[in-house]
Homo-oligomer: A and B are copies of this chain.
Amino acid sequence: MTVAVKAVHGKPEAQALSAALGELTAAFGNRVVTSQAVREQHANTITWLPNEPPDAVVFPQSTEEVQQIVRICAKHGVPIIPFGAGSSLEGHVNAPRGGVSVDFRDMNKVLAVHAEDLDCVVQPGITRKTLNAHLRDMGLFFPIDPGADASLGGMASTRASGTNAVRYGTMKDNVLALKVVLANGEVIDTARRAKKTSAGYDLTRLLVGAEGTLGIITELTLKLAGIPEAISAAVCQFPSVEACCNATIQTIQSGIPVARIELLDALQVKAVNIYSKLDLPETPMLLLEFHGTEASVAEQAERFGEIATEFGGGPFNWTTRAEDRTRLWEARHNAAMACFALRKGAQIVATDVCVPISRLAECVAETQRDIATTGFIAPIVGHVGDGNFHVALLVDMNDDAEVTRAKDFCGRLVERALAMDGTSTGEHGVGQGKMKYLKAEHGPVVLDVMAGIKRTLDPQNILNPGKIVAVD
């Protein structure tokens, strides 16, 4: 297909937009929505970033319909912003240049499950909980758990990971292939279902984490895991964050195939105590989960117990009973909601960085000192097996000065992580919020390479413009 190439440096002209919306409405009828409420729901709603609504929202039902939408938008130079569950944290779904939000709500099917091959094919709008409910009876699950009930398309696009990543990897490790609509409306499959391939450039991994800026995902082939025969959960208090981190390092180095190893700092434990009316000792703690056979999860838990003792941890509790596991993990499950208990009326500014695990204790400790200095209430939780942690700043969003201080804090956190050979974001992605840090992280030549790839795949800059890398 040939499309008119017209660089979009700002919002589309009113005439172009109007023509595109007219064609979309002719094609999709009442599946094109332009009400203000719906438009605002389809832009950023959960961070300090302003809400920048699209001009319209379209609800496609097939790859072919997505192609049709892209062709109409490409013809008129109108931006396209893919939308899953709206749980992204860096303004990924904002429409700074207006345009059309493509909501995958109706493309939420499991197209195939290949149990023998441990893979499945899904549409991008399905959420991870819905997928796992579908898989449960087959004894299978999709292991990536970013916390939110995110859509699989969004999870792939932000290269999401979460609590299980220490054992099962991130989205980059669990997407086998993608069906993608390109900026000119053509469709590609990035790979086949073979578990590995050396057949050319790895377009799958290029699209995973591209945040919808290089193409629009309309199908995903995902790796699955067997539901473990046994799961044990463990919880252990420690005298300090350093002790937690050192116990984690030792656990990973010992080759204990821990499935989850999560840090909660003392303030986060306090929040959970208030929220869930518990009386956990308000010290840093690790929460763990082990997957395997009955014998193997028992052995893993016991071995971790020995390591914990070595680093002054205790008391150490573990169990394989489902209801007891839930109780032990209650603190982690409620972590995000519990934060609100610490400051009434405040909103959460959530940010994440990731450092080599050897620098994790130092990075968390310095961050806690920074929090203390700035006076924020800001609990920390971490996927510490990967060196990844989150800070939840409780911010009065009506106080501009405070919002500015929160943004400055996030900037210092990124600088700290970069100085320790870490990254500005372990799993949240770049979106709008972290674009300004990419140059510090990667240097100008890498940004030129990224911009070159963006221009090659999206010469009009209509695919989620204003995210990841600036091209004009």
Residues of A within 8 A of B (CB): 114-119, 158-161, 165, 169-170, 172-173, 182, 186-203, 205-206, 208-210, 214, 225-226, 228-229, 249, 252-255, 257, 291-293, 295-296, 299, 303, 354-358, 386-388, 417-418, 421-430, 434, 437-438, 441-443, 445-446, 449-450, 452-457, 468-469
Q: How far is the CA of A213 from the CA of B199 in the complex (A)?
A: 13
Which of B193, B200, B225, B456 contacts A255, CB < 8 Å? B225
Which of B117, B198, B303 contacts A427, CB < 8 Å? B198
Which of B189, B437, B441, B452 contacts A443, CB < 8 Å? B189
Which of B203, B249, B291, B355 contacts A449, CB < 8 Å? B203
What number of copies of this chain does the assembly contain?
Answer: 2
Which of B160, B249, B423 contacts A192, CB < 8 Å? B423
Q: Are B453 and A201 in contact (CB under 8 A)?
A: yes
Q: List 19 A-B contacts (CB under 8 A).
A: A116-B358, A117-B357, A170-B196, A172-B205, A188-B449, A190-B446, A192-B422, A192-B423, A194-B387, A194-B422, A197-B423, A198-B428, A200-B430, A200-B441, A200-B442, A201-B453, A226-B254, A292-B296, A293-B303
A453 with B450, Cβ < 8 A, contacts A206-B201, A421-B194 known:
no
Q: Are A201 and B255 in contact (CB under 8 A)?
A: no
Q: How far is the CA of A199 from the CA of B198 in the complex (A)?
A: 25
Q: How far is the CA of A116 from the CA of B117 in the complex (A)?
A: 35
**Residue in chain B with minimal CB distance to A1:** B445
Which of B118, B195, B197, B445 contacts A186, CB < 8 Å? B445
Which of B196, B228, B469 contacts A161, CB < 8 Å? B196
Q: How far is the CA of A214 from the CA of B456 in the complex (A)?
A: 14
Contacting residues, chain B, for A170 (C-beta < 8 A): 196
Q: Are B457 and A193 in contact (CB under 8 A)?
A: no
Contacting residues, chain B, for A427 (C-beta < 8 A): 196, 198
**Residue in chain B with minimal CB distance to A208:** B202
Contacting residues, chain B, for A430 (C-beta < 8 A): 198-200
Q: Are B423 and A469 in contact (CB under 8 A)?
A: no
Contacting residues, chain B, for A214 (C-beta < 8 A): 201
Known: A188-B449, A200-B438, A453-B453. 6 other contacts (CB 8 A): A172-B205, A189-B442, A194-B423, A195-B388, A203-B446, A293-B303
Q: How far is the CA of A441 from the CA of B201 in the complex (A)?
A: 13
A249 with B116, Cβ < 8 A, contacts A450-B201, A457-B449 known:
yes
Q: How far is the CA of A249 from the CA of B114 in the complex (A)?
A: 12
